[in-house]
Amino acid sequence: MINKNEQISPFLVFFLVLKVQIGVGVLGFQRLIIKSAGNDAWIAVIAAGLLFSIVIWCMFTLLNSQKQDLMGIHTQLFGKVLGGFLNMIWITYWLLMGIAVYRAYVEVVQAWMFPQINVMTFSIVFALLIYYTVSGGFQVLTGICFLGVIIPSYLILTIFFPLEYTEFRNLLPVWNHSYKEIALATRDMSLSYMGFSTLLMFYPLIKHQKKANKWAQLANILSILSYLLLTIVSIGFYSENQISRYVWATLSFWSIVEVPFIERFEYIGIATWVIFILPNICLFIWAATKGTSVLFKVEPNRISILFLVILIVMSLALKDRETVNTFQDYMSYVGFILYTVYIPILLCLSYIMSKIRKKTHEN
């Protein structure tokens, strides 16, 4: 039984969902989707956002009907053996997502600030920070997510600097790409919206759980609007040929920001972005730790230490940009299947099983 003092208010789900949807991907998502859909990439942003709005609804419908987290749902529907196997898939996914987000941020730091940075030293210091946050409990983690949204929010003002150089005629003609190209861009865009699957683990820690759905949907809407604004400005600011040469298009916006007392604003932006990234990684590590602790009945602190060691080792193994990109691509494909295929199937199975149990009890 969960103590009510350990639970969070429903409106805080807004920050937990928004936090993981707007992460390191926002710094350079434009190149991937514009490569597939060109000036119609903004359509893919909306399509992917609406798709994940449906996924959020599926998650809450599943969780509200079962009244327990994903670990419990798997065990109840499939038994200990098969349910435990499915739980391990999700635990591995959360851990690898945490590593993917962390390594992507390290790559940004290497490319824009410190090319010769010692990855091991940086990873150890960052891992200690993650451990301190995760070991503080879910309420502490929620507070970090809240601050991670509020403190860096001033960066949205930087979008006004490239507007004077933006040609919105680049958006025309509308829908001059095929459905297949837009679908590919939608799939590529999906990685940026992923992350809120941690909801499947922290659901029992929400007060008045049925009220949390609207806050999660509002967070998703704000994510759509944020990515849509960045995509439209990027299409107007760059040409389709130029965007292929900019790995970090949003960071390139920051490089033209002119402030009298700051010469290189992108340094400020990247340094501030760590406040955005830290809660994302912590949420994934927390979900993987909690799931493993429940599955194997092991003390959470020991599990989190093991996972952070894996994070450090993996960050060293992913040495160059090509390897990092390949790893992120695999995570994108796996995540897309888990969100858009597995969750709806699990919801259907849950509905069928509840109907069967209801008829059994009636007889």
Whichever domain contains 342, its CATH number is 1.20.1740.10
- Comparing 38 with 206, the larger pLDDT belongs to 206
Q: Say if 283 falls within a structural domain.
A: yes
Residue 20: CB partners within 8 Å, gap ≥ 6? 194, 195, 196, 198, 279, 280, 283
Q: Which residues pair with 259 in a beta bridge?
A: 262
Domain of 79 in residue numbering reads as 4-319+335-346
- How many structural domains comprise the chain? 1
Q: Say if 353 falls within a structural domain.
A: no
pLDDT for the residue numbered 222: 93
Mean pLDDT of 272-294: 90
Q: Which residues pair with 206 in a beta bridge?
A: 8
CA dist 178 and 53 (Å) reads 24
Q: Say if 18 falls within a structural domain.
A: yes
H/E element, 267:
helix 265-296
Q: Say if 325 falls within a structural domain.
A: no
Residue 72: CB partners within 8 Å, gap ≥ 6? 66
Instruction: Tell me: pLDDT of 61 over 90.
Output: yes
User: Which pLDDT tens digit goes with each residue over 38-59?
Assistant: 889 899 999 999 999 999 999 9
pLDDT for the residue numbered 309: 94
pLDDT for the residue numbered 193: 87
pLDDT for the residue numbered 261: 65
Q: Is residue 201 packed enough to be buried (19+ CB in 10 Å), middle (13-18) or exposed (0-12)? A: buried
Residue 130: CB partners within 8 Å, gap ≥ 6? 278, 281, 282, 285, 308, 311
pLDDT for the residue numbered 1: 58
CA dist 261 and 169 (Å) reads 34
Q: Say if 359 falls within a structural domain.
A: no
Instruction: Tell me: pLDDT of 19 over 80.
Output: yes
pLDDT for the residue numbered 26: 83
pLDDT for the residue numbered 92: 94
What's the mean pLDDT when you consider all of the chain?
A: 87
User: Which pLDDT tens digit goes with each residue over 88-99?
Assistant: 999 999 999 999
Q: Say if 355 falls within a structural domain.
A: no
Q: Say if 341 falls within a structural domain.
A: yes
CA dist 116 and 10 (Å) reads 44
pLDDT for the residue numbered 84: 93
In this structure, which amino acid lies at residue 130? I
What tokens appear for 359 in the block?
């008829």
Task: Centre a 10 Å sphere on the Cβ of residue 333 and count the other Cβ atoms it contains.
Answer: 13
pLDDT for the residue numbered 237: 85
CA dist 247 and 14 (Å) reads 29
CA dist 42 and 147 (Å) reads 29
The dihedral region occupied by 166, where left means phi > 0, alpha psi between -120 and 50, and beta the remainder, is beta
User: Which pLDDT tens digit goes with each residue over 133-189?
Assistant: 998 889 999 999 898 888 888 888 888 888 888 888 888 888 888 889 999 999 888
Q: Say if 328 falls within a structural domain.
A: no
- Comparing 243 with 209, the larger pLDDT belongs to 209
